[in-house]
C-alpha cells in the first residue's frame, strides 16, 4: 500500500477541560475523497483548522507530502500543496469574479506586485483565471461583481480560487452550506468532475453529497472518531446509526 498523502496520528486539542480533538487518526491517499461527518459540536471545523495550520494542536503528528507539519505555519502547508475553503465564503465582494481568481493565481505564483491596472491585463494572470472560471461553471460571469452573485456562484468562485493554488489536498469545510437543493446538486457534480485530480478532506452535513462523493468516511463524535470506512460500511454500522445517522432508512 502506498504511503498516504496525509497522515494524522493521535491529534489532540483542548480548550480548558474540553477535549475538542481527542486522539484523532486519519489517512488520506492521493486523489482520495475522505469525508468527516458528525453532529454539531463534534469538532469538525476545529479539526480542519488544525490541519491547515490556523490552530495549533496540543499533541500529535501531522505528516503531509512526507513532511511533519504539526508546527508548520499556514504558508508552508500551502507551499507543500494544501489549500482550504471555509463554511462562510471568503471572497472580495467589490471585485469581479475574474479579479478574485486572478488574485489567487497571483498569490500562487509568488509575485508580490500590487493589484494595479497593468496587472489586470497581464495574460499570465488573466488566462489561467478565465480557465478556472470555466472549470467551475462560471465562464460567463467573470465580469460580474461578486456582490451581485448568487450564494451558490460564490461557493463556485471560492472553489476556483482554491484550485488556483494548485493543491494536492483540498480541505473543504461545508462547501454546500447555505445552498439550495439545486445549488448543492450542482456543487456535487462539480466536485465529481475534479475528483481524483486532488485529494479532498470534506466536512459536510449534506449526507446525500457525502455518500455521492466520498471514497471513505470518518464519523466524529465529541472529538473522537468512532468509525472509518467506505460509504457502505458506514451505512451499515450500528454504532454510527445510533450516534449520528439515526435508525431510519431514509436517512441513508
pLDDT at residue 241, rounded to an integer: 82
User: Domains of the chain, with CATH numbers?
Assistant: 1-81+169-252 (3.40.50.300), 89-166 (no CATH)
CA 226 to chain centre: 21
Could you report the per-residue pLDDT of 66-100, keeping only the tens digit for each? 999 999 999 999 999 999 886 555 688 999 999 99
> pLDDT of 16-57, one tens digit each?
989 999 999 999 999 999 999 998 888 999 999 999 999 999
Of 6 and 236, which is predicted with more confidence? Answer: 6
**Helix, strand, coil percentages for the chain (3-state, nearest 5):** 40, 25, 35
Predicted pLDDT at 159 = 92
SS3 145: strand
Q: Which residue has the cell 468516511?
A: 217
Instruction: Report whether pLDDT(15) > 60.
Output: yes
Lowest mean pLDDT among 53-67, 107-121, 186-200: 107-121
Read off the pLDDT band of 118 (50, 70, 90): low
**What is the distance between the alpha carbons of residues 163 and 188, in angstroms, rounded to a whole number?**
16
Tell if the pTM clears 0.85, that is, is over it. Answer: yes
- Model confidence at 252, pLDDT cuts 50, 70, 90, reads very low
Helices (H), 68-180: 74-80, 97-109, 117-120, 123-135, 151-163
Please tell me the distance from the alpha carbon of residue 61 to that of residue 132, in angstroms, as a whole number.
34
- Mean pLDDT over each residue of the chain, to the nearest integer: 89
Amino acid at each position: 500500500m502506498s504511503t498516504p498523502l496525509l497522515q494524522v496520528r493521535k491529534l489532540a486539542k483542548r480548550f480548558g477541560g474540553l477535549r475538542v480533538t481527542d486522539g484523532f487518526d486519519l489517512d488520506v491517499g492521493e486523489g482520495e475523497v475522505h469525508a468527516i461527518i458528525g453532529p454539531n459540536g463534534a469538532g469538525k471545523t476545529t479539526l480542519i483548522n488544525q490541519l491547515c495550520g490556523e490552530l495549533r494542536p496540543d499533541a500529535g503528528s501531522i505528516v503531509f507530502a512526507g513532511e511533519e507539519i504539526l508546527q508548520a505555519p499556514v504558508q508552508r502547508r500551502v507551499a507543500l500543496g494544501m489549500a482550504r475553503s471555509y463554511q462562510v465564503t471568503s471572497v472580495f465582494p467589490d471585485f469581479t469574479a475574474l479579479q478574485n481568481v486572478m488574485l489567487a493565481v497571483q498569490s500562487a505564483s509568488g509575485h508580490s506586485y500590487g493589484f494595479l491596472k497593468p496587472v489586470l491585463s497581464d495574460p499570465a494572470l488573466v488566462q489561467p483565471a478565465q480557465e478556472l472560471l470555466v472549470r467551475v461553471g462560471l465562464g460567463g460571469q467573470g465580469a460580474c461583481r461578486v456582490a451581485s452573485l448568487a450564494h451558490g456562484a460564490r461557493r463556485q468562485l471560492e472553489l476556483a480560487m482554491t484550485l488556483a493554488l494548485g493543491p494536492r489536498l483540498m480541505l473543504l469545510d461545508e462547501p454546500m452550506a447555505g445552498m439550495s437543493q439545486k445549488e448543492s446538486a450542482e456543487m456535487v457534480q462539480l466536485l465529481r468532475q475534479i475528483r481524483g485530480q486532488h485529494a479532498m478532506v470534506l466536512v459536510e452535513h449534506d449526507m446525500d453529497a457525502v455518500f455521492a462523493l466520498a471514497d471513505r468516511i470518518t464519523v466524529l463524535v465529541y472529538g473522537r472518531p468512532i468509525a472509518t470506512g467506505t460509504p457502505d460500511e458506514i451505512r451499515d454500522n450500528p454504532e454510527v446509526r445510533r450516534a449520528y445517522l439515526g435508525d431510519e432508512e431514509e436517512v441513508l
